[in-house]
Amino acid sequence: MPRKWIVGGLVALAATGTVAAIGLTRPAATPSTTAQQPRRELLLPPPAPATADLAQLQAATRRSPGSADAWIALGDYQLRAKAFADAIASYDKGLAIDPARSATWSALGEAHIQTQRSDTAKMPAEARAAFDKALALDPDDMRANFYAIMERDFLGQHDRAIGEWLQMLRRAPMGSDADEAIRAAMAASINRNLVQIKRAMADATRVQPQFEAPRPGN
């Protein structure tokens, strides 16, 4: 069965109503804290919002084609704009110049997730390769870990996945896209498991023997 690796890209993932039903809702914010909440960022960054526009970023790569910073800034902009194929091309050029950037490998993995689907429980190969490189450079990379946990969940390691997402939730800023994505992923995992359990119970019910009450005198 095809797996839905594209989960909103973690670029703008909305939590489902199921989150509330399973007790993963956040505490209600007071009016004072609501006014102070920061603007939502990408789930698991590109680091900081680009201040330049697309034309300026493209011009920077033409002026300095050997600059990893220029290509990566362009890729970050394109990822936010959901121009995923363009982001992949820009990240590839930046990482060819400077491969020691865990956040960029992680962003590249996310861009690949957005452009591919997998017909198995395993992550698309290009995304896995990028996330593996991110984790080799930074074992705590949140985006790469998020997808690694999702793969384990798809492979049937549900209890482990839920536990690891709960630990990740402790580090994700409340109200961020990371927070929303983790909660929604946990809700989806629980829903999948409930469906499987109900199906298994129905299968068992169909083959259950009929109960026969003891007859008087027996």
Q: Is the pTM of this model over 0.75?
A: no
Among 3.30.70.20, 1.25.40.10, 3.40.50.720, 1.10.10.10, name the CATH number for the domain at 41-205: 1.25.40.10
Distances (CA, A) of 46 to 33, 39, 164, 194, 195: 26, 15, 23, 35, 36
Per-residue pLDDT of the chain (218 residues; tens, 9 = 90+): 445 565 544 443 322 233 333 334 343 333 333 333 333 334 544 444 556 789 999 999 999 999 999 999 999 999 988 899 999 999 999 999 999 999 999 999 999 988 877 667 788 899 999 999 999 999 999 999 999 999 999 888 988 999 999 999 999 888 888 888 899 999 988 888 888 888 889 989 999 888 887 777 66
